[in-house]
Structure 1
Amino acid sequence: MIQGTGSNVGKSLVVAGLCRLFANRGLKVKPFKPQNMSNNAAVTADGGEIGRAQALQAQAARVPLSVHMNPILLKPETDTGAQVIVQGKRFGTLRAREYGRQKAQFLPKVLESFSEIESGADLVLVEGAGSPAEINLRAGDIANMGFAEAADLPVVLCGDIDRGGVIASLVGTHAVLEDAERARIKGFFVNRFRGDPSLFDDGMSEIARRTGWAPLGVVPWFSEASKLPAEDALGLSDGAGHGPVRIVVPVISRIANFDDLDPLRMEDGVTLMLIQPGEPLPGDADLVLLPGSKSTVGDLEFFRKQGWDIDLKAHHRRGGHILGICGGYQMLGLTISDPEGIEGQPGTVEGLGFLDVDTVLTADKSLVEATGKHLATGAEVSGYEIHIGRTEGPDCDRPLLHIREADDSPKLDGALSVDGRVAGTYLHGLFTSDAFRRAYLKGFGGTSALAYAQSIDVVLDDLASHLEASMDVERILEIARAR
C-alpha cells in the first residue's frame, strides 16, 4: 500500500507508473483504492463508476476496469456533503460528519472488493487517501491505516519535496502514528525532486535514522505528468497550448468529469483557456465549452454570479459557438426541474436559454459506455454517460450524435440550435476519439495529428522507466512478497 504524507503528493501517479512498470515485467498487476474523493469518475463495463485515477492505473496495468478497484467513491456536491458511491452504485448523500460516523460500516464492502481484486493477481498496488497522520480521522478509518491493518498490508510512505517541509512531514508522520502503525511502514520515498537528487542524500539518511524506515529513492520531477488525465480539479488552474483555435472553459464550482478537456490540452492547434471564477469570458473565443457538473442547479447559479451568462450571450451574438457536455448541456436549455429535490429544494429554475430543451432531474442514474458517430461529419466517436436527468425539446430533433450503448441499443443523443452554433450532448469522453476531434476542430479551421490513446500509453511507459531509474523497485517487490 502506497500512503502519503498528505493529499496531492503524487500517490496516484506513482501507483500508475508502478502498475505499468510491473506489467511490463509480465506480472498481472491490479490497482486498488479503498476510498476516493473525486468528481472525475470513470464508467466501468458493468455499469458502475470509480475514480478516474483508478481507471488510469488500470490502463497502466493493462487490465479491464472494475467497480471493485475503488469500492467507496465520494463525490462532493456541497462544501459539507457528498454523494457516496459503494461498489459503483449510488448509496446516498451524506454530510461530512454523517459519513465520519458511518464510514466504518463500509469496511466489509471494501474488504470484499479487495478480495475480488486480489484474486488472480500477482501484485495489487493499493493507494491511500490523504494522510495516515490525520489522526483525528483515525476512528473507523477505511482509507489508510485502518484498511492496511484490516487487510494486513505493508505500507510504503510517499513525501512530496516540491511543496516543502518533506523531512518534517515524513518524520512528523512517524511521530504521530501508533507503534503498530509505524511498524507497518516498511519504507519511504521522496517525490517530485527538482535538480540533482544526490543533493538530498543527507536528507534521506536523516529521515531513515529518525524513523527506521528503509529509503526507497528520490523521484525526480516528471514533466510529462501534465499529459495524463488529472483526477483533482486543483489541476485545472492552467490552460494549455498556443494554437489558432481558441477554446474557453469556465471552471464552475462543482466541475465533474473534466477529462473531456485532456485531449484538447494536448492539441498543438488549440489554445485551451480555463477561466477561473471572477474572470470574464474572453471575447475572442471560437468555442465556449460548458463542462460537466456534479450539481447542475447550484453551478448554474454559480455561473450567473460570475456574470458568465452575460459574457456567453455576447459571445453568441458575435457568432461564437457553444458546446455543453452533460451538466453543461442541461444548463444551456430553457429550464431545469428537480421535482424530487435531488440537488436541493424541489423546484424549477430557468436555464441559460440557448437550446430549446427542458431537463427533468430524476433519481435514476445513467452509467453506460457508448460508441457511435457524429451526425454532421460521420466521424466515429466513443465515450460514456454518467448523469441523472432526462432532456427533451424541439432542438433534440436535431441530435448531435447517433450512439450505440453497451447493451447494443441505438439512440440519438444531444441537441443542436436552429443556427447550428449551440450544441449539447450527454456523452463524456468524445474528444478522446481522434476522428471526431479532428473533424470537430476542422470546423473551426484547425488541424489535428494527435493520436490520443497512443500518446497516453507512451507517457505511461516513460513514467515506468522514470520510476525504475529512481526507486528501489526490487525492494518494493520484496516488501510486497513478505506479506
Structure 2
Amino acid sequence: MAKAIMFMGTGSDVGKSLIVAGLARAFLKRGLKVAPFKPQNMSNNAAVTIDGGEIGRAQHLQARASRIAPSVHMNPILLKPESETGAQVIVQGKRRTTLKARDFFRERQSYMPAILESFAILAQDHDLILVEGAGSPAEANLRQGDLANMGFAAAADIPAVLIGDIHRGGVIASLVGTQAVLDEADQKHIKGFLINKFHGDPELFHEGRDLIAKRTDWPCLGVVPHFAGASKLPAEDAVALEEAAASDSKGIKICVLQLPRIANFDDLDPLRLEPGVALSFLKPGMPIPGDATLVILPGSKSTISDLAALRATGWDIDLAAHARRGGAVLGLCGGYQMLGKTIADPDGIEGKPQTVEGLGLLEVATVMTPEKTTTLTSATHAASGEKISAYEIHIGATTGPDTARPFAQTANGPEGAINTSGHVMGTYLHGCFSNDGFRAAFLKSLGATSSSLAYEQVIEETLDALAAHLEQHLDLDAILEFAKPVA
C-alpha cells in the first residue's frame, strides 16, 4: 500500500520543488518506488507527457528524479496565466477552459474530484507519493475551497512537513506565524518542519531551531544548507529569472528577450551552462547589445500581448537593426510566431478576435486555432543532420514561403522556417538545446568554440548530489515514519 506525505512552504519559492526532487531520488536509492504529485500548479513552464498531456516542469523533473515516466496524474490541475487576471485551466493534461481568477476561485472545488482521482491512480503503483503544495497554507483567506495545500491534505487525509526559507529572512516568524493562522484541524496535519537554504554552519542556528520547535511543538527534521548545484537544474517559476545573473563566460553573446508572459524558459538552460556562451536575459528597457551574436525570442503564453510589449520597449527596432547587421535571430514557439508577417486570432483565443502585424523578419503567417498541439517530437536538424528529441506545446499553425527552408524535419514533414539569408530562424521545438549533438552543431555555426558539455548527464549527476545532500542534512527516517498509508 502506498504511503504519502506532503511538503508545504511558508511562501512561494522556498524550495519545495527542489526538496521533493531530491527526496524522490534519495528514497529511490533506498529501494522505494516513488512518485511526485502536485494537486494544483500555476506555471507557464510546462512539459509534455508521453500521452500528449501537459504538466508543470517541476513535476517533470521530479518524475525524472524518481526514474519514472511523467504522467498527467502527477499534476492534475495546471493553471497557465494568460493575463494579470486570467489563466488557461489544464485538467489532467488537457486544456479545459480559460477563466478569470474570480471565476476559477468560485468554482475551483469542482476540480477536487479530478485531483483525488489522479492521486488514487498514482497510489496504485507506487510505494511513496511525495506531494508538493503551492504558495503557502498561511494564506488563510484562501482556505475555503483550497485545492493546493490544506484543502488537499484534509481531503486526502495526509500529513505534511512545513518548509521555511532562512535565506529570505524572518524564518522563525514565518514558521511560528503559519501555525498561528491555521485552525486546529489544519495544524494537526503538520508533523514537523525543516529549514532550507542555510548559508554558513547549520549548528549556529540550533537556538532558532529549538525556539521554533518549542513555540510550535513540531520537531525539526533538519537544517538544509544552500545547495549550489540547484542552478544547474531547470527552474519552473519565472521568479528564478529575476534572480538570474548573466553568464560570465567570454564566449559568443546570446541575448534572450524576457517577455512578460515568457513560457518554457528552461529551453535556454543548456546554453547557460555552455562554457563558450555568454547568455543573458534582457529585461524590458534594456537595449539589445550591438555585439550580440544571437537574439532569442522565447516561448510565450500570450503571443499577441507579448508582441505588443516587445514593441513598447523598442526591441522591434533593435531586432531589425540586429538582423540588418547579419546577426542571428531564433524564435521559439510564440517567439517564432512573432517573427512572421501576421498573427491572426479569428476566434479570440488570446482575447478579442484580431489580426496583428508581426515583426516581418520571416515570410510566414500564423493563424491561432482552438486545437492545441501537445506532443513529443523526434526531428532532424535540417542544417546539420543532428537528431533532436523535443516537445511541442502551442496553439496555432504557421505557413508561408520561408517554411520551404525548414528548421528541422519530422516524421510529419518539415518543421519551422528560415529566411533567405539563413540568419533568422523559427521553430516550435521546445527542449531542442538539451540535445548535445544539435546544440554543439548550432553553436558552431554561430562561431562558438566546441564543448564537451553532456547536459543530460549534468542533470543526473546533480540530482544524485542533491539526494546525497538531503540524506546528510534531513532525517529521512522520520519523514518516512510520518508518511501515512493512502486510504
Could you say which TM-score interval applies, normalised by the shorter chain?
over 0.9
Choose which of 315, 324, 348 in structure 2 pairs with 1:317. Answer: 324
- The corresponding residue for 1:453 is 456
SS at match of 2:289: coil
The Cα offsets for residues 124-172 of structure 1, whole Å up to 9 and x where unpaired, read as 0000000111010000111000100110100100000000000000000
| Corresponding letter in the other structure for 1:134 | E
Q: Where do 4+ consecutive residues of structure 1 move more than 3 Å?
A: none
Query: Does 2:432 align with 1:430?
Result: yes
| Corresponding letter in the other structure for 1:458 | E
Report the Cα distance in structure 2 between the residues aligned to 1:291 and 1:141, rounded to whole angstroms.
33
Q: 1:384/1:223 Cα in 2 relative to 1: closer, same or farther (>3 Å)?
A: same
SS at match of 1:27: coil
Percent of residue pairs identical: 62
Query: Does 2:284 align with 1:280?
Result: no
CA-CA distance at 1:243 after TM superposition: 3.4
TM-score (norm 1): 0.98
Report the Cα distance in structure 2 between the residues aligned to 1:314 and 1:354, rounded to whole angstroms.
11
Query: How much is the aligned-residue C-alpha RMSD, in angstroms?
Result: 0.8
Give the alignment of 1:127-276 within 5 angstroms. Answer: 127-237=132-242, 238=244, 239-276=246-283
Report the Cα distance in structure 2 between the residues aligned to 1:282 and 1:464, rounded to whole angstroms.
40
Which sections of structure 1, spanning at least 5 residues, go unmatched? 405-409
User: Which protein, 1 or 2, shows the higher relative CO under an 8 Å CA cutoff with sep ≥ 6?
Assistant: 2
Report the Cα distance in structure 2 between the residues aligned to 1:416 and 1:455, rounded to whole angstroms.
31
Report the Cα distance in structure 1 between the residues aligned to 2:239 and 2:11, rounded to whole angstroms.
14
Query: Does 2:119 align with 1:114?
Result: yes
Contact 1:371–1:383 (Cα < 8 Å) also in 2: yes
Report the Cα distance in structure 2 between the residues aligned to 1:15 and 1:403, rounded to whole angstroms.
35
Report the Cα distance in structure 2 between the residues aligned to 1:117 and 1:268, rounded to whole angstroms.
40
SS at match of 1:440: helix
CA-CA distance at 1:289 after TM superposition: 0.6
CA-CA distance at 1:318 after TM superposition: 1.3
| Corresponding letter in the other structure for 1:284 | D
CA-CA distance at 1:482 after TM superposition: 6.6
| Corresponding letter in the other structure for 2:462 | V
- The corresponding residue for 1:100 is 105
Choose which of 34, 37, 45 in structure 1 pairs with 2:42. Answer: 37
CA-CA distance at 1:481 after TM superposition: 4.5
- The corresponding residue for 1:480 is 483
Choose which of 286, 299, 303 in structure 1 pairs with 2:310. Answer: 303
Contact 1:441–1:448 (Cα < 8 Å) also in 2: no
| Corresponding letter in the other structure for 2:350 | E
CA-CA distance at 1:259 after TM superposition: 1.3
Report the Cα distance in structure 2 between the residues aligned to 1:253 and 1:131, rounded to whole angstroms.
24
- The corresponding residue for 2:84 is 79
CA-CA distance at 1:241 after TM superposition: 3.9
- The corresponding residue for 1:407 is none
CA-CA distance at 1:453 after TM superposition: 0.6
SS at match of 1:229: coil
- The corresponding residue for 1:10 is 15
Report the Cα distance in structure 1 between the residues aligned to 2:447 and 2:365, rounded to whole angstroms.
32
Contact 1:241–1:269 (Cα < 8 Å) also in 2: no
The Cα offsets for residues 69-102 of structure 1, whole Å up to 9 and x where unpaired, read as 0000000000111101000001111111111111
- The corresponding residue for 2:3 is none
SS at match of 2:188: helix
Query: Does 2:61 align with 1:56?
Result: yes
| Corresponding letter in the other structure for 1:430 | C
Contact 1:241–1:265 (Cα < 8 Å) also in 2: no
Query: Does 2:392 align with 1:385?
Result: yes
Contact 1:35–1:72 (Cα < 8 Å) also in 2: yes
Report the Cα distance in structure 2 between the residues aligned to 1:428 and 1:326, rounded to whole angstroms.
7
- The corresponding residue for 2:300 is 293
Choose which of 419, 422, 432 in structure 2 pairs with 1:420. Answer: 422
| Corresponding letter in the other structure for 1:152 | D
CA-CA distance at 1:205 after TM superposition: 0.5
| Corresponding letter in the other structure for 1:353 | G
Contact 2:158–2:484 (Cα < 8 Å) also in 1: no
CA-CA distance at 1:240 after TM superposition: 2.1
CA-CA distance at 1:65 after TM superposition: 0.6
Report the Cα distance in structure 2 between the residues aligned to 1:357 and 1:94, rounded to whole angstroms.
31
Choose which of 444, 448, 465 in structure 2 pairs with 1:462. Answer: 465
| Corresponding letter in the other structure for 1:432 | S
Which sections of structure 2, spanning at least 5 residues, go unmatched? 1-5
Report the Cα distance in structure 2 between the residues aligned to 1:71 and 1:280, rounded to whole angstroms.
40
| Corresponding letter in the other structure for 1:246 | K
Report the Cα distance in structure 2 between the residues aligned to 1:241 and 1:414, rounded to whole angstroms.
31
The Cα offsets for residues 213-272 of structure 1, whole Å up to 9 and x where unpaired, read as 111000000111011001011111323241321110010000001111110011011000
- The corresponding residue for 2:401 is 394
| Corresponding letter in the other structure for 2:312 | K
Contact 1:373–1:381 (Cα < 8 Å) also in 2: yes
Report the Cα distance in structure 1 between the residues aligned to 2:289 and 2:123, rounded to whole angstroms.
50
SS at match of 1:343: coil
